[in-house]
Structure 1
């Protein structure tokens, strides 16, 4: 299996004369699960949208497997993106959403998932928030892209669904590089094998989760409590 490499370099973004992102560098390889952390307003969602190509940056430089990707359309086949907001039209049936999003050779396996089976005879409008999020995540991870960006994937998920989503993420990281951003830092830390902290517009590449305390993102007690639950 060939490994793939996504490099995001020199990302700059200002808004109302304020630097949101300043010379951000990020590298994601096949098998990476990168947890993108930061306080509200630190630019996490903006960075993911810039990488995917739906938000304009003041400057950006993106390479995939050594090839520069200057046009947004060149990224869509290489990168999949899960936005914060629901993205499947509510008028769709679940079967139609799957047929339009999953390749024919993968549909049988896709629908073999116990949670997906319980949805098959429903419409998107009849799903709970957690069910819909689970469906969206599974669809995005089953895309043929080399890289996946997940923005707030855990929103609305029950603890059981969180576990199943983390299993999906780990399984798909065998063939993809994955970047996750979520306000629920515990789940992000738990599933990630690399951590990046956005602070004051800069990307800090952490060697261990204890650096989250050193850099002021977490207080020591919270990390200690997390370690006990892990």
Structure 2
């Protein structure tokens, strides 16, 4: 089933500083939408607005044309990977996979370094392993849409390669929105690409737009 997420008419101000103005962005089943932007331009704020945990001055967030101001309160609609670690360090991996109703053997098949860690606590993982664990359980959730904030941070190139394969598989049934400062991975993974600049979101129609909007200089 095709599903569509749209956010528009977003206005976000902190005091006299305007962060976002008249933003429009679309994400739909079968596509990875990439969001690029310089630090402090409002990428994480926009994801929190879509998720419903940040209330801006104005917004319209719609799922299949129906307004959903607090997406996090609707089960099965939207899963969010924040920049920070969200799984308690005291939990075992067994508990995590039980809570998320996921099969651990499938996980360790793709990531053999976890073979002996089923009974281990999250606190015993490296930074990259912990990030991978959190990304995996969010990515494999039964939600219709995924918001992934800095999913590639702390991951090895090998891990990123495997995650890219999983994203291709997951997008068959989900809409996925990604932002990451490792922008080349975002560009490679994205079917649609947006750049957040000058308080607004711009759809990239050609790679030259990324340079024109002042985000990055790409080698040709």
> Normalized against structure 2, the TM-score is what?
0.93
- Distance apart, 1:102 and its partner CA: 2.5
The alpha carbon displacement at 1:54 in A equals: 1.1
Determine the structure 1 residue equivalent to 2:83: 84
- 1:134 and 1:61, CA in 2 relative to 1: closer, same or farther beyond 3 A? same
Aligned residue in 1 for 2:67: 68
Counterparts of 2:36 and 2:3, CA distance in 1: 23
Could you list the runs of 5+ residues in structure 1 that have no partner in the other structure? 225-230
Give the Cα–Cα distance (whole angstroms) in 1 for the partners of residues 162 and 193 of structure 2: 21
- Secondary structure at 1:211 match in 2: helix
CA contact (8 A) 2:139 2:146 kept: yes
CA distance in 2, matches of 1:188, 1:72: 24
Q: Which residue in the other structure is 1:12 paired with?
A: 11
Give the drift of 1:71: 3.5
Distance 1:215 1:70 in 2: 30
The change in CA–CA distance for 1:37 and 1:73 in structure 2 (over 3 A counts) is closer
Q: Give the SS at the match of 1:12.
A: strand
The answer to whether the 8 A contact 1:102-1:142 is kept is no
Match for residue 127 of structure 2? 129
Match of 2:54 in 1: 55
Counterpart of 1:176?
174
1:25 & 1:75 partners in 2: Cα distance? Answer: 22
SS at match of 1:10: strand
1:71-121 per-residue CA deviation (whole Å, 9 max, x = no partner) reads 455445311000001111000000101111125xx5554454334434323
In 2: Cα distance, 1:159 partner to 1:109 partner: 20
Q: Cα distance 1:29–1:38, how it changes in 2: closer, same or farther (>3 A)?
A: same
- Superposition RMSD in Å: 1.6
- Name stretches of at least 5 consecutive residues in structure 2 with no aligned partner: none
Please name the residue that 1:187 is paired with.
185
Hey, what does 2:219 align to over in structure 1? 223
1:115-141 deviation per Cα after TM superposition (whole angstroms, max 9, x unaligned): 443432321001011111111111001
Aligned partners of 2:158 and 2:144: how far apart in 1?
Answer: 27
Equivalenced residues, count: 219
Equivalents in 2 of 1:118, 1:209: separation in Å?
44
Deviation at 1:56, TM superposition (A): 1.3
